[in-house]
Amino acid sequence: MPTNTKWWNGGRSPFNISYGKVMMWYFLMSDAFTFGAFLISYGTIRFSVNHWADPNHVFNAFPFAGHANLPLVFVSLMTFILIFSSVTMVLAVHEGHKMNRKGVEKYMILTILGGLAFLGCQAWEWTHMITGDHAVLVNGQIEHWGTTVTRNPWGVEVMHNGAMVATPGPIAFGGYFFGITGFHGFHVFSGVIINVTMLIKTRLGHFDQRGHYEMIEKAGLYWHFVDLVWVFVFLCFYLV
Amino acid sequence: MSSQVSSPEITHAQEHASGTSRIWKTFWVLSFLTVIELSLGYFLYFYHGDLTYGFILGTKLLIAALTIAKAYYIVSIFMHLGDEIRNMIMTIIVPLMLFIWFITAFLWDGNSWKTLRNTDAGSRPAQTEQSHTPVIDKDVKK
């Protein structure tokens, strides 16, 4: 397009983008602030206490691996699942530009499968944490706790009867972990619902009748945003 | 190309006709950055006992910088924001600049609370080794 285009003289979109896509971008921006507020609040509390749970000890399990110590492995798998489903989503958008219905269908199915795989991983991880069985010294007695929004068995370790045992940690840990990963997981879930809706509409030929696949682009923006948020959740909860 | 949304208000740029090589290249970049992040994470896991506080903090900041790089690739390539016109890019990026202040101020505040608590609001020096060993009086009576 010419470089001296007068974007604000009327008669055209000053952002050269359709109304629906602009509004999706603004929604995602507000959603970014919501997630940002959650993550920064978590960071504030974490900075304000002397001891915080070490993610390498909390998140070290893998399905069917028993009690093997595998820090970061399972969450890396979840990260790669989400990156890959982002790739299949952008490929679906690409096929949409080419008006290739079969291609859009194929990549939307792969994207939905990726989303479901991620949700399955998260369900396993939550179950593993909630039903965990960690020795904690509470009022001089050893109790066995899982990690919930009211119980944090990952506090400071103290000497008790000649062995090191953890004490209860700040309950904010479980609240932030389940709150933020849950809010993200809910976004993944709604993203899967949106993608299934788009797949059905593609199969019914709605976008061919309309003459463009812009709805796939909007669903794609949402789905990539979910991946984007996970990148930061991965950083804040698992890596640092 | 038939990809045009039928509206005279929008001019579609040419990049939509390009192939998928850019998408796959981005995929490999994202995977590579993630592997580097994980390597640094494992480095901290295996060696954190031997490292100074400043070095650990620096490594964590490096991991955060790599995360920002990943975010750039996702937003610019996958979400095609890099292909939009400058007006559109700025209307998204400029408001997000608030995060710079937001993160700095709140983490500073969190650290300040810790200092106030550890020094009883400045009335005593902070202990170098934080003592958080709870008093376990029920142990004594055994």
Residue A145 pairs in a beta bridge with A134
DSSP reduced 3-state for B36 = helix
Min Cα distance A223 → chain B (Å) is 9
Residue B130 lies in a domain: no
Residue B134 contacts A, CB cutoff 8 Å: yes
Distances (CA, A) of B55 to A71, A97, B50, B130, B135: 21, 48, 10, 20, 33
Tell me the percentage of chain A whose pLDDT exceeds 70: 99
Residue A4 contacts B, CB cutoff 8 Å: no
pLDDT, tens digit, 9 for 90 and up, residues A68-97: 888 899 999 999 999 999 999 999 999 999
Residue B120's pLDDT band (cuts 50, 70, 90): confident
Predicted local confidence at residue B8, as pLDDT: 66
- Conformational region of residue A58, where left means phi above 0, alpha means psi within -120 to 50, and beta covers everything else: alpha
Residue B103 contacts A, CB cutoff 8 Å: yes
Q: CA A51, CA B105: separation in Å to the nearest integer?
A: 21
Name the token pair of A174: 């479980």
- Work out the end-to-end distance of chain A between its first and last CA atoms, rounded to an integer number of angstroms: 45
The 3-state secondary structure of A120-180 reads HHHHHHHHHHHCCCEEEEECCEEEEECCCCCCCCCCCEEEECCEEEECCCCCHHHHHHHHH
Q: Residue B87: which domain range? A: 19-122
Domain count, chain B: 1
pLDDT, tens digit, 9 for 90 and up, residues A10-21: 878 888 889 999
What are the b/e assignments for B99-133, b being 16+ CB within 10 Å?
Answer: eeeebeebbeebeeebeeeeeeeeeeeeeeeeeee
Which is more confidently placed, A152 or B124?
A152
Contact A213, A231 (CB under 8 A): no
Residue B10 lies in a domain: no
Residue B92 lies in a domain: yes
Predicted local confidence at residue B49, as pLDDT: 83
Arithmetic mean of pLDDT over chain A:
93
| Residues 96 through 125 of chain A touching chain B, CB cutoff 8 Å | 96-99
Q: Which residue of B has its CA nearest to A155?
A: B132
Predicted local confidence at residue A8, as pLDDT: 82
CA-closest candidate to residue A186, choices A34, A58, A22: A34
Residue B3 lies in a domain: no
Which is more confidently placed, B108 or B2?
B108
Residue B70 lies in a domain: yes
Residue B131 lies in a domain: no
- Conformational region of residue A135, where left means phi above 0, alpha means psi within -120 to 50, and beta covers everything else: beta
Name the token pair of B35: 């592997």
Q: CA A59, CA A70: separation in Å to the nearest integer?
A: 8
- Give the start-to-end residue ranges of the domains of chain A: 19-239
Options 1.20.120.80, 1.10.1530.10, 3.40.50.1860, 1.10.3720.10; CATH for A19-239 is 1.20.120.80
Residue A220's pLDDT band (cuts 50, 70, 90): very high
Q: Do B134 and A158 touch (CB under 8 A)?
A: yes
